[in-house]
Chains A and B, each alone.
Chain A
Amino acid sequence: MHVGYGSGFQHLAGYSDAQFMREELGNCERAESQGFDSVWVTEHHFDSYSLSPDVCQLLSYLAGKTKRVKLGSMVIVVPWHDPMRLAEQIVLLDHYSGGRMILGVGRGLARREFEGLRIDQNEGRQRFNEYTELVLKALETGFMEGGETVKQPRREIRPRPIKSFKGRSFAAAASRDSVPVVARLGLGLLVILQKAWDQVRADFELYHKSWRESQGPNVEPTKPFCSGFCFVDESADRAEELARKYLALNYREALDHYEMFGKHFDTTKSYERYSDLSKYLNSIGADKAVDDYIKLMPWGTPQQVLEKYAGMKELIDMQGIMPNFFFGGMPHEESVRNINCFVKHCLPELKSWPAATLTEPAELAAV
């Protein structure tokens, strides 16, 4: 199984951004030397939840610092970008890295990010569908043209794309409404651990049904990748105490960042699913929500973590994982210990598990 290093660049510890960036960039750079298969970063803006506002720029830096690892976006929030510029950035990153990018896209959720980027969140769904289709097509053809709202005049992507993105393109679908869209676009699913497993299973059933309808019965869907937050320690007691502490801080920050207890989802077009989720969270309260979230995550002794991943593999048959190790305001030294413990005790075993392998991207015809 593919095992990547994920980072949300979450900085809750209060010291300088400069120091934190050095620390987590260092962790990302070292992932290659430690045997990870890939490095994945998120896109978020404006607060401590994530200091990662430009995925392609960050992955371009890592492309220059690494030779082997794949470089994943989990995710580029497509509605926040001009599709033409985005296609150019993705292609440029693929040139810098020799075709090592794994593309992950998403729709975005946080009101503060849409507002701060001066984009109407009510347009989020429409923008995601339209822009993602334009970008994916451009990555294969080398030009972009059309779009219902952007009306992009035909322009070439230069430098031209070197390798196909088919088989290495994914999308997060936190909202069930997004699942058929992702299947129709021919994308694999990026599972971001946050839902109860019965809901995830139902999403996959919908995904496979939608895939067969849109892609045909003879085309196998791309196996998913699964993100999450991992805390591993050889001491079960220490693992539990600190996993609970840092995962709770991580999730409370997420609840705040996404304003999950707010009522704004009621009046935001195509975010009605989140309105239901918000009502549910309000009904159970933050403490219960945090507790449920912690239960989803892989933490514990190395054996416990492996058992948790085995359970996930059984449920969703992912081709790879990319856990975060530095989150919730933990000291940098703790993140290093966490990574090292995982590398030493979990990584070889996880890599040995049979799984679908990432499609090696096909060379595109040179023009």
Chain B
Amino acid sequence: MAGGNFDGARGTCRGVVMLTRFSALPAALLLSTVLGCQKNENSDDCAQMLSERIHVGIPQGDVEQFLNNCGFTHSIDPRTNTIYALKRGDHGGLVGQDWNAQVDLDAKQKVTSIKVEKVFTGP
């Protein structure tokens, strides 16, 4: 999935919003916006985007591309057809803030459910 598939009107990843408004920008800018999304310090945006864009019925490949674009580390458990994903957040203090996603797939590798949540690590 290319970065241009993001729906900027939904106001999700800021770099992607810019991309959709100026669709004539060169490929280099596309790459930079995707990378910008990956490194976006506003993790809430990407997590919000995941919740909105990953929905029941979309294929595994698209899910993984969304997760990659938003800087999640992820892996599929082939025993249960579940994708586990983690995006590490702020670790400056005693408590860290991450984003977790868990995506369940059916036998055709299509999404059956998704859970995205903000979690705090630390005491």
Chain B min CB distance to A348 (Å): 5
Question: What band does the interface of chain B fall in when counting residues whose beta carbon is under 8 Å from A?
Answer: 20 to 34
Chain B min CB distance to A205 (Å): 31
Instruction: Check A252 for interface membership: any CB of B closer than 8 A.
Output: no
Instruction: Check A270 for interface membership: any CB of B closer than 8 A.
Output: no
Instruction: Check B119 for interface membership: any CB of A closer than 8 A.
Output: yes
A-B contact count (CB 8 A): 49
In the bound complex, CA of A344 to CA of B83 (Å)? 11
Residue from A30, A340, A344, A352 in contact with B98 in the complex, judged by beta carbons closer than 8 Å: A30
In this complex, how many residues of chain A approach chain B with their Cβ under 8 Å: the count is: 17
B77 x A348 contact (CB < 8 A): yes
| Interfacial residues of chain A within 329-367, with CB under 8 A of chain B in the complex | 336, 340, 343-344, 347-348, 351-352
Instruction: Check A35 for interface membership: any CB of B closer than 8 A.
Output: yes
In the bound complex, CA of A22 to CA of B120 (Å)? 12
Instruction: Check B26 for interface membership: any CB of A closer than 8 A.
Output: no
A344 x B73 contact (CB < 8 A): yes
| Interfacial residues of chain B within 38-83, with CB under 8 A of chain A in the complex | 73-79, 82
Q: Which residues of A contact B84 (CB under 8 A)?
A: 33-35
Given A25-B122, A30-B88, does the pair A351, B77 have CB atoms closer than 8 Å?
Answer: yes
Instruction: Check B96 for interface membership: any CB of A closer than 8 A.
Output: yes
List, sorted by A's number, 16 A–B pairs whose CB atoms are closer than 8 Å.
A22-B94, A26-B121, A26-B122, A29-B122, A30-B98, A33-B98, A34-B73, A34-B75, A34-B86, A35-B82, A35-B84, A336-B88, A340-B73, A343-B74, A348-B77, A351-B78
7 nearest A-B pairs in the assembled complex, by CB-CB distance = A35-B84, A33-B100, A33-B86, A352-B78, A340-B73, A347-B75, A29-B121
Task: Give me the interface of B with A, judged by CB distance under 8 Å.
Answer: 73-79, 82, 84-86, 88, 91, 94, 96, 98, 100, 119, 121-123
